[in-house]
């Protein structure tokens, strides 16, 4: 079973992301409504991938990402950033902070499925 | 493979969430506007507005509501720039943003009715495109904050500003730590729930994650640091959130150059030295008794005593802060309260030049804040009401600090407001109407009474009178009094020791037991002339027998300490009496003989089985046996429940 942590402060957005990704077989989803909750969940359980929003209260996606990449146990975790800010500058900043991939909102179900499949496949290679 | 999701199905959920975000945007913009009118900024509200619009834009794009995307996109761009420049917005920009929120609301409402969302007018889009920024605000100084640089670097300038302003207004700046674990999660303690509960007792400035070594306490190798502002005590915050109070720590940099914990270590070291000195003095005394010549050693001991006194004074000085420091944060607090409650208040402060122990000052400050809040929020009437009652429009709040004796500080907080309605308080407490001020204070200090009765925007949180009493009387060993005249005003009087833990004390013997009593508490020690006593037999109500002695022509009630503690009465009867003052009136305690005067280290008695009224702690006089430190003022109060000790004629 592939475990994916979906982080967004908007419940509708999390529901939409999960609705799209249900198309990937043998996958289960955990919701986190804030960056803090995401970090808490990552410290207590292991996940196969992280789908992360950028703009959240307290700490945003970039800070979550920086924290994740600074932990030995999470350094290789595949992270897909999903954001309304689709410009090049934002993409550069996010990729420099250690994102595995980047997807601008609005996206289609097919687009996010393709991104998540790709980061999971990279991880498979990494593990092998 | 499952069918591809149709995001249009989410339109109903989208509309619900969009309405929530619009409500947030509206209320946050009103906060921005209020700050702007007061000549201040509210960068946090600007950021919250930005976040709401950003979320609305993202969601609208996902479900294909383009007109809302167009409006929200422009508002979001402008708000992002404002956030970066410190959150100052001109009124014209606030008006345009409110118009933008309204335009989105109309479109969300149309979609809810099943209509289409209309395209925004060119005029609206143009006005949002042409918004101008207010001048950039320089970041505030951070010197007052005691945070490690890595933590400080993660705070936004507006968050530092929020902390600095909060401290200036009298709030306590704190850090709380929470480490998530599966057990805590099972008890409902997660960062989200901690955050939510914390928000009820404190202003959360920032929450930061910190990686820590994996331990039993932090099984995930993670610790959240919550940076807070609050008026509540550590205990109140900790219990509201479900954390240990040890997880809280002040982040206000202390003025003293020597870190306070070092001063405490030094004090502990000194305490040990003083006890050693007592043992030495005893050993010398027993040598003298056996006929050994100890003159030279005694001279050395005299030097040693002086050196210890100097050392103690030096350590205490490090821990002392001027009373004026305690008061300097009050004017800002009052100004803020006036604005929030529409009261007009004239504040009079009289600080004097007394200094007090930092640990006393820290405990005293929340108490003062509470009394000031109560005075402005509840006691002082609105200007209209005051005029109707024939009072000056402006209420008077007066705080006077002065040394009561060389070891006590007296603070009075008085107002000329409506006074306390005794019958209302007694109704609320479900007790009889108190006949005097002491009885009124007892009612006011019933746990939960004051907080339950009065819930307003400024006084709804924080502590009740019972915590004021606990802090002043139980923690600090001080006195609390209230004097209130309905319609005329209320005065609270607090008397607290300037320092705690080491005091000058008289030691004495009574019923073959040794006791000490702090010198500061003693008014006078007098000889008892057995022939000049008037004996008053004990009452049926269990209160002890009282003798009346004459002191310079004034009758003073005298209690037999041996009888109170049920000790063996001495053969010759008491020869001395220690006179203390309770609420201004003298009370004498008969004892067998005085032993001397010395500095003693008071250790609190934490064992509830040993704790008794009138016993403020224990000390070691060098014989290795604990000696009780008596609080004769509290003892006299506990004996007669506050009634006058003099028998009625």
> Pick from B472, B497, B522: which residue ends a domain?
B497
Nearest-Å Rg of the Cα atoms of chain A is: 13
> Cβ(B124)–Cβ(B71) under 8 Å?
yes
Q: What is the CATH number of the domain that holds B626?
A: 2.40.50.180
Q: Find, in chain B, the residue whose alpha carbon is nearest to that of A71.
A: B211
In a domain, B550, yes or no: yes
| Cα–Cα–Cα angle for B361, B367, B373, rounded to 5 degrees | 130
Q: Where are the alpha helices (DSSP H) in B530-596?
A: 561-564
| Chain A partners within 8 Å of B222 (Cβ) | 39-40, 43
Pairwise CB contact (< 8 Å): B51 & A57 = yes
In a domain, B622, yes or no: yes
**Residues facing residue B557 across a β-bridge:** B548
Query: Distance (Å, rounded) from C-alpha B345 to C-alpha B382?
Result: 10
Which one of B1, B3, B4, B5 would you mutate to disrupt binding with A, by most A Cβ within 10 Å of its Cβ?
A: B5
Pairwise CB contact (< 8 Å): A37 & B51 = no
Same domain, B206 and B82: no
Q: Find, in chain A, the residue whose alpha carbon is nearest to that of B181.
A: A44
Same domain, B437 and B531: no
Q: What is the CATH number of the domain that holds A91?
A: 3.40.50.2300
In a domain, B648, yes or no: no
- Tally C-beta pairs within 8 A across A and B: 107
Per-residue pLDDT at B420: 87
Per-residue pLDDT at B411: 92
In a domain, B143, yes or no: no
Same domain, B479 and B346: yes
Mean pLDDT, chain B, rounded, equals 81
Per-residue pLDDT at B335: 82
Same domain, B559 and B630: yes
| Chain A partners within 8 Å of B59 (Cβ) | 10, 12-13
Same domain, B507 and B632: yes
Asked if the C-beta of B12 comes within 8 angstroms of chain A's C-beta atoms, the answer is no
Per-residue pLDDT at B288: 86
Per-residue pLDDT at B644: 45
Beta B554-560 vs B585-591: how paired, if at all?
A: parallel
| Chain B partners within 8 Å of A105 (Cβ) | 58, 61-62
Query: Distance (Å, rounded) from C-alpha B277 to C-alpha B272?
Result: 9
Per-residue pLDDT at B99: 93
Q: What total of structural domains would you count in chain B?
A: 5
CA distance, residue A2 to nearest chain B CA (Å):
16
Same domain, B384 and B478: yes
| Chain B partners within 8 Å of A23 (Cβ) | 1-5
In the predicted model, what is the mean pLDDT of residues B88-93?
82
Residue among A11, A36, A73 minimizing CB distance to B207: A36
Instruction: Kindly report the backbone phi and psi dihedral angles of residue B616, in degrees, each rounded to the nearest multiple of 5, phi listed first.
Output: -100, -10
More confident residue, A19 or B598: A19
Residue window 13-32, chain A: list those with CB within 8 Å of chain B: 13, 15-16, 19-20, 22-23, 25
Same domain, B492 and B579: no
Tokens of B183: 């057990």
What is the residue whose two structure tokens read 């005794």? B422
Tens of pLDDT along B9-59? 899 999 999 999 999 999 999 999 888 887 777 888 999 999 999 999 999
In a domain, B134, yes or no: no
Same domain, B419 and B493: yes
Pairwise CB contact (< 8 Å): A16 & B195 = no
Same domain, B487 and B517: no
> Cβ(B273)–Cβ(B263) under 8 Å?
no
Contacts of A30 (CB under 8 A, 6+ apart): A3, A4, A5, A6, A41, A45, A47
Pairwise CB contact (< 8 Å): B10 & A15 = yes
Q: Which range among B104-118, B494-508, B608-622 has the greatest average pLDDT? A: B104-118
Contacts of B392 (CB under 8 A, 6+ apart): B386
Residue among B16, B58, B209 minimizing CB distance to A84: B58
Name the nearest CA neighbour of B253 among B145, B140, B362, B141: B145
In the predicted model, what is the mean pLDDT of residues B406-434?
85
Report the share of chain B in percent with pLDDT over 70: 85
Per-residue pLDDT at B331: 83
Q: What total of structural domains would you count in chain A?
A: 1
Pairwise CB contact (< 8 Å): A106 & B64 = yes
Which one of B47, B59, B209 would you mutate to disrupt binding with A, by most A Cβ within 10 Å of its Cβ?
A: B209
Pairwise CB contact (< 8 Å): A105 & B54 = no
In a domain, B488, yes or no: yes
Q: Find, in chain A, the residue whose alpha carbon is nearest to that of B13.
A: A12
Asked if the C-beta of B282 comes within 8 angstroms of chain A's C-beta atoms, the answer is no
Asked if the C-beta of A84 comes within 8 angstroms of chain B's C-beta atoms, the answer is yes
Same domain, B436 and B463: yes
Per-residue pLDDT at B72: 95
Q: What is the CATH number of the domain that holds B423?
A: 3.30.565.10
Pairwise CB contact (< 8 Å): A10 & B17 = yes
Torsion, Cα B464 B468 B471 B474, to 10 degrees, reads -100
CA distance, residue B340 to nearest chain A CA (Å):
27
Pairwise CB contact (< 8 Å): A55 & B54 = yes
Residue among A16, A56, A63 minimizing CB distance to B7: A16
Tens of pLDDT along B356-393? 877 788 888 889 988 998 898 888 999 999 999 999 99
Residue among B191, B211, B224 minimizing CB distance to A70: B211
A55-69, B309-323, B601-615, range with the lowest pLDDT: B601-615
Per-residue pLDDT at B449: 67
Q: Find, in chain B, the residue whose alpha carbon is nearest to that of A84.
A: B58
Tens of pLDDT along B193-232? 999 999 999 999 999 999 888 888 888 889 999 999 998 8
> Cβ(B76)–Cβ(B147) under 8 Å?
no
> Cβ(B204)–Cβ(B368) under 8 Å?
no
Per-residue pLDDT at A116: 96
Per-residue pLDDT at B3: 60
Per-residue pLDDT at B262: 65
Per-residue pLDDT at B398: 94
Structural domain span for residue A33: 2-127
Asked if the C-beta of B14 comes within 8 angstroms of chain A's C-beta atoms, the answer is yes
Tens of pLDDT along B468-489? 887 787 667 778 999 999 889 9
Structural domain span for residue B464: 328-497
Residue window 372-411, chain B: list those with CB within 8 Å of chain A: none
Per-residue pLDDT at B642: 41
CA distance, residue A104 to nearest chain B CA (Å):
10
In a domain, B595, yes or no: yes
Asked if the C-beta of A10 comes within 8 angstroms of chain B's C-beta atoms, the answer is yes
Residue among A23, A55, A105 minimizing CB distance to B4: A23
Name the nearest CA neighbour of B373 among B415, B418, B412: B415
Query: Distance (Å, rounded) from C-alpha A70 to C-alpha A67?
Result: 5
Tens of pLDDT along A7-22? 999 999 999 999 999 9
| Chain A partners within 8 Å of B16 (Cβ) | 12
Residue among A12, A44, A70 minimizing CB distance to B182: A44
* pLDDT > 80? residue B520: no
In a domain, B105, yes or no: yes
Residue window 194-213, chain B: list those with CB within 8 Å of chain A: 195, 206-209, 211
Q: What is the pTM of this model?
A: 0.50
Per-residue pLDDT at A12: 94
Pairwise CB contact (< 8 Å): B10 & A23 = no
* pLDDT > 60? residue A90: yes
Per-residue pLDDT at B275: 74
């Amino acid at each position: 079973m592939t475990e994916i942590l979906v982080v967004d402060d908007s419940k509708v957005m999390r529901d939409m992301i999960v609705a799209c990704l249900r198309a990937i077989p043998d996958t289960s989803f955990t919701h986190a409504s804030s960056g803090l909750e995401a970090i808490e969940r990552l410290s207590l359980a292991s996940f196969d991938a992280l789908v992360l929003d950028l703009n959240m209260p307290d700490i945003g996606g970039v800070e979550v990402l920086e924290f994740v990449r600074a932990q030995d146990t999470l350094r290789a975790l595949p992270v897909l950033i999903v954001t309304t800010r689709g410009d090049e500058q934002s993409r550069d900043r996010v990729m420099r902070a250690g994102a595995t991939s980047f997807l601008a909102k609005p996206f289609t179900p097919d687009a996010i499925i393709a991104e998540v499949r790709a980061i999971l496949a990279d991880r498979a290679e990494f593990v092998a | 493979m499952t069918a591809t999701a149709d995001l249009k199905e989410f339109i109903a959920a989208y509309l619900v969430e969009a309405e929530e975000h619009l409500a947030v945007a509206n209320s946050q913009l009103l906060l921005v506007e209020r700050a702007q009118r007061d000549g201040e900024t509210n960068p946090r509200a600007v950021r919250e507005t930005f976040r709401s619009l950003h979320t609305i834009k993202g969601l609208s794009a996902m479900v294909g509501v383009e007109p809302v995307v167009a409006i929200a996109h422009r508002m979001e761009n402008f708000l992002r720039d404002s956030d970066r420049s410190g959150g100052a917005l001109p009124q014209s920009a606030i008006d345009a943003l409110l118009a933008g929120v309204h335009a989105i609301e109309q479109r969300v409402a149309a979609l809810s009715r099943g209509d289409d969302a209309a395209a925004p007018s060119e005029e609206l889009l143009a006005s949002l495109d042409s918004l101008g920024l207010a001048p950039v605000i320089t970041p505030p100084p951070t010197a007052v904050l005691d945070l490690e640089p890595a933590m400080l670097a993660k705070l936004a300038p507006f968050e530092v500003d929020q902390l600095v302003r909060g401290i200036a207004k009298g709030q306590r700046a704190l850090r709380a730590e929470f480490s998530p674990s599966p057990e805590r999660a099972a008890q409902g303690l997660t960062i989200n729930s901690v955050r939510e509960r914390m928000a009820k007792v404190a202003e959360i400035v920032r929450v930061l994650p910190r990686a820590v070594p994996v331990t039993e306490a932090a099984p995930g190798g993670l610790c959240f640091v919550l940076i807070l502002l609050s008026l509540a005590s550590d205990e109140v915050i900790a219990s509201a959130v479900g954390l240990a109070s040890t997880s809280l720590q002040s982040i206000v940099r202390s003025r003293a150059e020597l870190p306070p914990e070092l001063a405490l270590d030094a004090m502990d070291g000194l305490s040990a030295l003083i006890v050693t000195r007592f043992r030495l003095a005893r050993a010398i005394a027993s040598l003298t008794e056996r006929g050994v010549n100890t003159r030279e050693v005694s001279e050395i001991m005299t030097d040693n005593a002086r050196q210890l006194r100097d050392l103690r004074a030096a350590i205490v000085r490090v821990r002392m802060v001027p009373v004026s420091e305690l008061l300097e944060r009050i004017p800002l607090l009052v100004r803020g309260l006036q604005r929030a409650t529409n009261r007009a208040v004239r504040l009079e402060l009289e600080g004097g030049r007394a200094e007090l122990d930092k640990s006393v000052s820290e405990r005293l400050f929340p108490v003062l804040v509470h009394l000031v809040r109560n005075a402005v929020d509840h006691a002082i009437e609105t200007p209209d009401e005051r005029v109707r009652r024939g009072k000056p429009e402006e209420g008077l709040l007066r705080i006077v600090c002065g040394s009561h004796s060389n070891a006590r500080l007296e603070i009075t907080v008085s107002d000329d407001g409506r006074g306390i309605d005794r019958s209302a308080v007694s109704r609320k407490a479900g007790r009889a109407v108190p006949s005097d001020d002491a009885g009124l204070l007892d009612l006011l200090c019933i746990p939960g009474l004051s907080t339950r009765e009065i819930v307003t925007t400024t006084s709804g949180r924080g502590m009740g009178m019972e915590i004021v009493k606990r802090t002043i009387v139980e923690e600090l060993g001080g006195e609390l009094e209230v004097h209130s005249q309905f319609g005329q005003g209320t005065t609270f009087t607090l008397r607290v020791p300037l320092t705690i833990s080491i005091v000058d004390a008289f030691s004495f013997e009574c019923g073959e037991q040794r006791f000490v009593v702090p010198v500061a508490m003693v008014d006078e020690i007098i000889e008892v002339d057995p022939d000049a006593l008037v004996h008053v037999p004990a009452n049926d109500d269990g209160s002890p027998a009282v003798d009346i002695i004459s002191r310079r022509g004034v009758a003073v009630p005298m209690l037999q300490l041996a009888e109170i503690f049920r000790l063996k009465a001495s053969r010759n009867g008491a020869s001395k009496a220690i006179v203390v003052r309770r609420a201004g009136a003298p009370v004498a305690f008969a004892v067998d003989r005085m032993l001397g005067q010395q500095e003693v280290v008071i250790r609190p008695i934490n064992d509830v089985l040993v704790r008794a009224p009138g016993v403020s702690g224990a000390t070691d006089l060098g014989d290795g046996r604990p000696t009780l430190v008596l609080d004769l003022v509290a003892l006299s109060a506990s004996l007669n429940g506050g009634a006058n000790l003099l028998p009625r004629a």
